[in-house]
Structure 1
Amino acid sequence: MASLIREDPHISDTVNNMGLYHALRDRVNSLGYSPDAQLMPYLEITGFGSAALTRTFDLQYNLISALVERWRPETHTFHLPCGEYTVTLEDVTLHFGLPIDGSVVTGVSAIAESDALCYSLLGASPGDDESNFSDLKFTWLKAKFEHLSINATEEELICAARAYIMHIIEGVLMPNANNKRVHLQYLPLLADLRNVSLYSWGSAVLAILYRELCQTTKPDTIDIGRCLVLLQSWALYRMSFLALVSHQPYLFPLVNR
């Protein structure tokens, strides 16, 4: 029978062989502004109401690095002296309140007529020299949608809600190394706010976190991204002894309700 554990190089080999140890670095973004109170009803409709209120805290990269050393890509679990543990869909929905049932979150990497798409769903476009672009800068989203008029129309509020969800997606839930930008592939999924909650956003968050952990087990890895606030909060909550060792209380859930 084939061995369950593959022989691929693993970051734990460096530690076991007394190699040079280094804590992983982050490439995590964050929410640059808080949602306007006028947006909350629209965010609640989409299922992002709780995620929009995510609290921020300092990440402990020694803890995160230690977890990565014990992550096995074959089983998607952390192998610990006390047994096997892993982040589950239950943890995602408890921490963020995101839907975990429904359609798969997917999109195309190449967006045709991106300028027109932004005008249609955001009411504005970055106005770059080229009409076709693939992502939006967080700085542009903040400058355009942070401050809303008290007399904002419903259409303006809907556009602002879409912009904030875009910020949440790559600012907290699925951040990557894209230099504080969010890909336009998510925007078409927000066209009808009533249908946004029909997508399994929680599954997407967990799948991408799993994929990042698997890739980060390579010995030459330096950076780690994705939803590290979930990973750390989960670890401190599910394994409370870690909170005592790290002298930091866990935050559960991650949102201010």
Structure 2
Amino acid sequence: MFGLGGLVYASYENLRGLLCAFIERWHAERNIFHLPIGEMTITLDDVSNLLHLPILSQFYTHQTLDANATNDLLVESLRVDRGVASEEIRHCRGAHVRLSWLRDVYEDTCSRRQWTVAARAYLLHLVGCAIFADKGATSVSVIYLGFFVDFRLNEGYAWVAAALTHIYQ
């Protein structure tokens, strides 16, 4: 439904290695990648072919989250205790959650048979590993949880554009 089917079937190790390799070789001043074979840039078509994601769909816009808004989003969307959410935000020093913490939330919600919440946790983890990864590949911004708040309203996003924008930022 969200257009992430290609990521579900891709190997996490390959995706993480690929994205980390590109992130490490990024030259911000010139907006290019330094590779052993020379310099290159990545296009929408490249990202679409590598991640098997759709190019065309709706764009997602968001506003910056402060600590209270981040906490509220975690409590409402992932049904975690407010104190637990606050502690995770403090641990990550901002509007991020650790991927390991997110996996624990996923397992807990599955054991309680809260499938919608489990799906949100799974999808946030998936995009955090594959589309919005950083050099550490250990956390994901909570802002992306907004993609998955209401399953009925969304029919997919321009994931390739989002991934490319994230890489270039």
Both proteins in one fold, TM over 0.5? yes
Match of 1:193, SS state, is: coil
Equivalent of 2:8, from 52, 61, 85?
A: 52
| Residue type at the aligned position of 1:107 | Q
Structural mapping, 1:1-257, within 5 Å: 45-55=1-11, 56-57=13-14, 59=17, 73=30, 76=32, 85-101=40-56, 102-125=58-81, 127-128=83-84, 130=86, 133=89, 134-146=95-107, 148-149=110-111, 152=113, 156-177=114-135, 180-211=138-169
- How far apart, in 1, do the equivalents of 2:161 and 2:85 lie? 36
1:189, distance to aligned residue in structure 2 (A): 2.5
- How far apart, in 2, do the equivalents of 1:53 and 1:81 lie? 29
Gaps of 5+ in 1: 1-44, 212-257
| Residue type at the aligned position of 2:96 | D
Match of 2:83, SS state, is: coil
Larger fraction in helix: 2
From the CA coordinates, give the structure whose radius of gyration is larger.
Answer: 1
- How far apart, in 2, do the equivalents of 1:116 and 1:65 lie? 31
Number of residue pairs matched by the alignment: 158
Does the C-alpha gap of structure 1 residues 94 and 59 become closer, same or farther in structure 2, counting only changes over 3 Å?
Answer: closer
8 Å CA contact 1:145–1:163 kept in 2: the answer is yes
- How far apart, in 2, do the equivalents of 1:182 and 1:91 lie? 23
| Residue type at the aligned position of 1:136 | V
Does the C-alpha gap of structure 1 residues 53 and 106 become closer, same or farther in structure 2, counting only changes over 3 Å?
Answer: farther
Matched with 1:244 is none
Q: Which runs of 4+ in 1 moved over 6 A?
A: 77-82
- How far apart, in 2, do the equivalents of 1:126 and 1:176 lie? 26
8 Å CA contact 2:6–2:52 kept in 1: the answer is yes
1:205, distance to aligned residue in structure 2 (A): 0.7
- How far apart, in 1, do the equivalents of 2:115 and 2:50 lie? 26
1:122, distance to aligned residue in structure 2 (A): 1.3
1:206, distance to aligned residue in structure 2 (A): 1.0
Matched with 2:92 is none
- How far apart, in 1, do the equivalents of 2:139 and 2:127 lie? 10
TM-score by length of 2: 0.68
TM-score by length of 1: 0.48
The CA RMSD over aligned residues, in Å, is 3.9
Match of 2:68, SS state, is: coil
1:175, distance to aligned residue in structure 2 (A): 1.4
Does the C-alpha gap of structure 1 residues 51 and 64 become closer, same or farther in structure 2, counting only changes over 3 Å?
Answer: closer
- How far apart, in 2, do the equivalents of 1:163 and 1:198 lie? 17
